[in-house]
Structure 1
Amino acid sequence: MKVIFLDVDGVLNSEKDLLEAKGKSELFDRPLALLKELVESTKAKIVVSSTWRIGCSKSGRNSWYGEEIFKTLTDRLAEYQMEVYDITPVINKPGVQRGDEIRAWLENAKEEIDAFVILDDDADMCEFTGTNLVQTSMKTGLLEYHVEIAKSILNGENITHDVVLDAVRKVWDKLPELRFGQLIVNVLGSDPFYELDKNVVTKMRKYERKICE
């Protein structure tokens, strides 16, 4: 089984969305459509790791909003033919990170987990940060290139050196006037030191599609 650990704020909404909604917490069509694409292309199950799960009966904790926020999430997902498979446990101890709650869910999963990805705008994912986290931002929410990275994780694409170099070469072939450093900065930004190989491949492929349009 493949699993998507789903955050909500900063994934299914953004600062721009919320400003337009005048601060009301809502979930928006653009990121929901992208999430549906990810679910359909990978056949992954959704496990909610967001604080939006707190207050639902399975969480074992009360919320000021009761079941209302979690119901908003499940109702909006249902509009896109998606459903919540489960939620991560709420571990109410000092120093606990979201990655700890994800690990606890994985250790007690009823089915064998073949692959998983974490969609979240935070980075408190413990040992999963560098391998399974696709980090979004509150500024933009879920974007197309996040979905492409998540697909590569869930579908098990083997990102070898040859795959990375091939992705770079295809862009450079179309922009031969650029020096290598210029190419890297144009595609990856001014500080690519911490970019994971899979992120480099995804961003190069996205850039290639853009210049071919």
Structure 2
Amino acid sequence: MNVVFFDVDGVLNSEKFLCDKQGEFINPKNVANLKMIVDATHAKLVMTSDWRKQVIDKDVSKAHVRELIGRLADAGMEVYGATSSGDELRSKYGDYTRACAVKDYVTANSVEGYVILDDMDMDWEAHELDSHWINTENVLVGLSEADARNAISIINQ
């Protein structure tokens, strides 16, 4: 199974988008770039974002969750799963980071190819995941088309 591990803020939006589009949370261009990755690699979407519990529970009482689920559905995508929370992994790893959660997911599931889309360094190198990480530019763009092409290469390597 191929997986795209993804954060939301700084990946599917940017600071500029959030300022320009008051009341919107998800940039359709970034969703299209995510779709490019999924189509080319047949990857499953696994959330690492702090939004993960609300999205997995489909808590559509929250506007940002409703928008994310809707935009993904409009593009023919859905969230397959989510990484474990810090509470679930702290006893196993001590100093929990998103990198621990990704590493745990890869180990526990039949993950073959994967990429990590995040605008922040979550100790990827310390957990030997930096070669799978794409640092999306959170201020102006988020997930760009160039990032999507790079993600496809990483998954297919």
TM-score by length of 1: 0.63
Q: Number of matched residues?
A: 148
**Residues 66-105 of structure 1, C-alpha deviation per residue, up to 9 Å, x if partnerless?**
8624343222100100111111111234731110111222
Q: Tell me the equivalent position of 1:53.
A: 52
> Within 5 Å, which residues of 2 pair with 1:156-171?
156=157
- From 69, 81, 84, give the equivalent of 1:86: 81
For residues 48 and 70 of structure 1, what CA distance do their matches in structure 2 show?
Answer: 12
Map of 1:205 onto structure 2: none
Q: What is the CA distance between 1:53 and its match in structure 2?
A: 0.9
- 1:14 maps to 14
CA contact (8 A) 1:38 1:151 kept: yes
From 116, 120, 124, the equivalent of 2:118 is 120
- Kindly provide the amino acid, as one letter, of the partner of residue 79 in structure 1: D
- Kindly indicate whether the alpha-carbon contact (under 8 Å) linking 1:4 and 1:117 is maintained by their aligned counterparts in 2: yes
Structure 2 unaligned blocks of 5 or more: none
Give the AA of the match of 2:119: D
Partner of 2:154: 153
Change (3 A) 1:56 1:79: closer
**Deviations 1:40-81 (Å, cap 9, x if unpaired)?**
0111110011111133565xxxxxx88624343222100100
Residue 44 of structure 2 aligns with an amino acid whose one-letter code is K
Name stretches of at least 5 consecutive residues in structure 1 with no aligned partner.
59-64, 157-213
1:73 match: 68
Q: Structure 1 57/41 Cα, relative in aligned 2: closer, same or farther at 3 Å? A: closer
Larger radius of gyration: 1
CA separation in 1, counterparts of 2:138 and 2:129?
18
Scaled by the length of structure 2, what TM-score is found? 0.84
Could you say which residue in structure 1 is the equivalent of 2:102?
102
Q: Distance in 2 between matches of 1:27 and 1:54?
A: 17
Q: SS of the residue aligned with 1:54?
A: helix
Kindly provide the CA deviation profile for residues 132-178 of structure 1, in whole angstroms up to 9, marking residues without a partner as x: 1011021120111111111111111xxxxxxxxxxxxxxxxxxxxxx
Greater RCO (Cα-Cα under 8 Å, separation 6 or more): 2
